Amino acid sequence: MTLRIQVQQQDFSVASEYELLRQEARCGAVVTFSGLVRELTETQLLRMTLEHYPGMTEQALIQIATEAQQRWQLGTVTIIHRVGTLLPNEQIVFVGVASAHRAAGFAAAEFIMDYLKNRAPFWKKEHTSNGEYWVAAKVSDHVALQRWE
Amino acid sequence: MTLRIQVQQQDFSVASEYELLRQEARCGAVVTFSGLVRELTETQLLRMTLEHYPGMTEQALIQIATEAQQRWQLGTVTIIHRVGTLLPNEQIVFVGVASAHRAAGFAAAEFIMDYLKNRAPFWKKEHTSNGEYWVAAKVSDHVALQRWE
Amino acid sequence: MLKILFFAALRERLACANTSLDLQGQVLTARQVLDRLAGQSALWQQHLADAELLCAVNQQLVTLSHPVAAGDELAFFPPVTGG
Amino acid sequence: MLKILFFAALRERLACANTSLDLQGQVLTARQVLDRLAGQSALWQQHLADAELLCAVNQQLVTLSHPVAAGDELAFFPPVTGG
């Protein structure tokens, strides 16, 4: 049971993270989630900036990962979240879970993302060809939490 | 909506597959599942052999991926499954899903694995220090299907 | 002719990967074919009686009530264990 | 002193990233602190009245009924949007 939590400006390598996750001899399943900056439908996204609450962010991610490890039998859990300026198609977040059984891996990875979306102090601002906008929280992200309660 | 299905003896690269999946500008989420040959608890696993039903295998995987694309809004769906001789910690299977929303990606990747485990004609044989054994189907894999019906 | 395939543990137990059956123009169910095959020997009877066996006709999973005719490809195999 | 932080849209609207309050030995709830801050100006009143605001004490999410005292770090911010 290893926890790997990183909040960083620089990009991350899914390939390297996956290699770390697959090393555990007793874990036959690795589930990963990657979140990317995607294009907007109604206007052109120039870049995104990600603000966070230093100190609280890391604690929140550790709490979420620890809670997942208490709920399911997991090997390594990795959470990486970027902050600062991001361009379209850049990577924002990575969650990786190694586990003996796939159901635990899928559940834990989705649980971590659902909690991260609602509890971890990150805020996105979109810089578009029409101006700058703070991203609004989505009702669907609140609803997503309910299944875990 | 792209489908990428491969049944092959040679290993695959999760890094390359991920790079293909993350190219879609409108897909902000990439979920991957990798299944690995894991150690046994009671005896030493020397190697595993994977038999399949050529022709039917590819069709079964295409059907499963197509069904997932009908149920959820997805971008590229990739399924790679190896056959032949595999050593401990080698990669067996890869499922990757790109989607606009993470819930669809998680659901589709798990759906594909659950169906693959029950419907795709692959059979594993474990070669251990105590002899050779065909792997028995797991009740939990049958149960896993029920949630999708 | 009906082409018949066996896979995995079943293939090993029967010591047979594929065989064929002359249906003489008949249409049978997969179960009827299974019964005919089982009549070939005590060994085949024993191993083809497994209620867990799966069946595919022309590379599609079907139930044993599915019809087969000359030119079809019929396969019997144990529950799958890939992934 | 109580250290108070604001983030994201709230920080921009208040044009303030952090401030402090002398509690003079009192223990207040986060809501009482919010009310005091809102009294500073019409602008602050307007933006701190947002019912959606989240609150953290010593870097843990809490409800507005949570007590704070000198030495604590209190933060107010809009719903989070990471991931």
Angle at B148 between CA B32 and CA B110, to 5 degrees: 10
Q: Which two tokens stand for residue D47?
A: 């933006």
Q: Which of C8, C52, C82 sits opposite B120 (nearest CB)?
A: C82
- For A109-126, write each residue's pLDDT tens digit: 999 999 999 999 999 999
Interface of B with A in 107-126 (CB under 8 A): 109-110, 113
Is the CB of residue B97 less than 8 Å away from at least one CB of chain A?
A: no
Chain A residues with CB-CB distance to D81 below 8 A: 117, 122-124, 134-137
Q: Which domain holds residue B87?
A: 3-146
Question: What is chain A's pLDDT, residue by residue, as a tens digit (149 residues)?
Answer: 799 999 999 999 999 999 999 998 789 999 999 999 998 988 999 999 999 999 999 999 999 999 999 999 999 999 999 999 999 999 999 999 999 999 999 999 999 999 999 999 999 999 999 999 999 999 999 999 999 98
* Chain D residues inside the 8 Å CB shell of A35: 83
The stretch C45-70 carries a mean pLDDT of: 96
Residue A137 φ/ψ, nearest 5 degrees: -65, 145
**Which residue of A25, A89, A100 is in closest CB contact with B89?**
A25
CATH T-level assignment (fold) for domain C2-77: Ubiquitin-like (UB roll) (3.10.20)
Give the start-end residues of each E strand in chain A.
Answer: 3-8, 29-36, 45-52, 77-82, 84-86, 91-99, 122-128, 131-134
- Cβ–Cβ gap B38/A22 under 8 Å: no
Chains touching B (at least 3 CB pairs under 8 A) are A, C
Taking alpha carbons only, the member of A21, A52, A29, A30 closest to residue A116 is A52
- Check if the beta carbon of residue A81 is closer than 8 Å to that of residue A122: yes
Q: Kindly list the domain boundaries of chain C, sorted by start residue.
A: 2-77
Extract the tokens encoding A73: 């039998």
CA D43, D46, D47: angle at the middle one, nearest 5?
Answer: 90
* ipTM for the whole complex: 0.95
**Chain D contacts of A60, Cβ < 8 Å?**
59, 61
Which CATH number goes with the domain that contains B96?
3.90.1170.40
pTM of the model: 0.96
At B121-134, the pLDDT tens digits run 999 999 999 999 99
